[in-house]
Amino acid sequence: MAAASLRLAVAVTFALALASACQGLKVGYYKKSCPRVETIVRAEVKKFVYKNAGIGAGLIRLLFHDCFVEGCDASVLLDPTPANPEPEKMSPPNFPSLRGFEVIDAAKDAVERACPGKVSCADIVAFAARDAAYFLSRFRVKFQMPAGRLDGRVSRSSDALDNLPPPFFNLTELVASFAAKGLTAEDMVVLSGAHTVGRSHCSSFVPDRLAAPSDIDAGFANFLRRRCPADPTPANDPTVNQDPVTPNAFDNQYYKNVLAHKVLFTSDAALITTPATAKMVRDNAYIPGWWEDRFAKAFVKMAAVGVKTGKQGEIRKRCRVVNNAADAKAKYGNGPARRY
C-alpha cells in the first residue's frame, strides 16, 4: 500500500513537471535566487486564511481570473491609473467580488525584503493560490507549483469580459471557453470543484436559477429566496455560500451538491447534462482522493496558461503598478504614500 502510494506520488510529480516544463516553468525555479520564497508566501497566506477562510477562496479564484485573461501574468493585480482607468480588476466579473489582493501585497513585501527584485508577482499569485488550497483542504490538496512567470504590462477590463466564462454558460460554452486556454473538458469539470469554497452575490444566479425555470432543488431554491432579493441591485446584492454543506472546506462536496441539484450557477448544473461529464462528476464525488489528485494536475496546467517569459514581461517592484509607473511614483510622488 505504501509502495503504491509512493509510486503514484512520483508519477503525479513527474506529470506536473513535464506539463509545466513545456511553458518554460519549473519546480524550484527560485532555488538559488530566493530559496525561501515559497516558505515566505505560505506563511503570509496562512495568517490570512486562518483568520478568514473566504480570503483563501479568493486567492484560488484570483489565479483563475488572472490566467484566463492575458495569461498567468498578474495583470489582474494592476490598479486603475489616469492612463488606464479600467484595468481587469475593475471589470464586472472581478469588481467588487474578487478578493485576496492584500495577501499578495503582504507576501510581495515580505519577499522583497528577503530577495529584492527576484520574484514576480505572477509567481506569488500562483504560490498563494496553491497554499490556499492546501490550508482549506486541511493539507489534503498538496502539490508543487512550478515557477518562472513574469509580470505583464497590459490589463484591460474588456479582456476580462471577453475571456472569463460567466455563471450562466451552458456545457458547450464552458468546454469551448476552457479549450481556448488549452484545457480539456475534464480539466473544466475538475477546476469547477473550486466552487466548494467561497461566496457568490445573488445577482450571479437569481436571474437564471430562481427567477426562471431551472433544475434547482426546490428546497434549496426556497433557502436561497429567503436570503436573496427577487431582483438584486448593486445596492441590494447579498452573498451566500457556494457550498451550503461544507462552506469553508476545500473538498469534493461540491460534486455531491451538483448531483443533488443544490448548486448556484447554471454552469455548475451544466456539468451533468452529458453522460461523459456526469460520470466525471460522480467519480469526483464518490471515489476517495480522485478529485484532489486531478485538481492538483489541472491547477498546475491552468497556472501555465499564457505565461510571460524573457522580454514579454518584467518583475514588478510593486504588484499593483507596472515598473515604469512605480519608478515615477518613487521619484516624483503621487499624493499620500500608499502601501503596495
More confident call, 12 vs 56: 56
Distance CA 279, CA 292 (A): 16
User: What is the pLDDT confidence band of residue 327, given thresholds at 50, 70 and 90?
Assistant: low
Question: Model's pTM, two decimal places?
Answer: 0.89
- Per-residue pLDDT at 10: 41
pLDDT, one tens digit per residue, over 109-141 is 999 999 999 999 999 999 999 999 999 999 999
pLDDT at 16 over 50: no
Report how far apart the first and last C-alpha atoms of the chain are (Å, whole number): 48
Angle ∠(305,307,310) on CA atoms, nearest 5: 160
Distance CA 286, CA 284 (A): 6
Residue 145: HSE in the Cβ half-sphere, 13 Å Cα cutoff: 30
Report the percent of the chain where pLDDT is more than 90: 87
Q: Quote the cell numbers at residue 266.
A: 447554471
pLDDT at 73 over 70: yes
pLDDT at 253 over 70: yes
Please check whether residue 41 is in contact with residue 128, taking contact to mean a CB–CB distance below 8 angstroms. yes
Q: Name the residues annotated as catalytic.
A: 65
User: What is the pLDDT confidence band of residue 322, given thresholds at 50, 70 and 90?
Assistant: very high
Distance CA 138, CA 292 (A): 12
